[in-house]
Amino acid sequence: MKRSVPRLQGPAKALARGEFIGLHATVDDSPDAGLVGLSGTVVDETLHTLTLRPGGPGTRRVQVAKAACVFAFSTPGSDREPVRVEGRAIQFRSQDRTKKVR
């Protein structure tokens, strides 16, 4: 059975085709209320998770499931609005996401 992947448009599509590691991410929506509002720098990405470091170097890392969450990504040094991306739309391995994001 083929899974349905939401389509991204505009800045979300351009962001999803790039690299997430090093970007600042905030969990905007999640079924787990404890994750909503969690923010930090993306330090790792797998097929199903993003790993965030909430504080500076040396702080604990938090793995967040992509499928259940909506993320808001902001680029360092930019004063633009954060770009919201539904986790199901980026649920690919990082090397495949650049080709598969629709």
List Cβ neighbours of 41 (8 Å cut-off, separation of 6 or more). Answer: 22, 23, 24, 25, 52, 53
Fold annotation for 11-96:
SH3 type barrels. (2.30.30)
Of 53, 22, 56, nearest in space to 40 by CA? 53
Which pLDDT tens digit goes with each residue over 21-60?
A: 999 999 999 999 999 999 999 999 999 999 999 987 778 9
Q: How confident is the model over 57-77, as pLDDT tens digits? A: 778 999 999 999 999 999 777
pTM of structure: 0.87
List, in sequence order, every residue forming a beta bridge with 26; answer none if it has no partner.
39, 72
- Please name which of 3, 29, 1, 30 lies closest in space to residue 91, comparing C-alpha atoms: 3
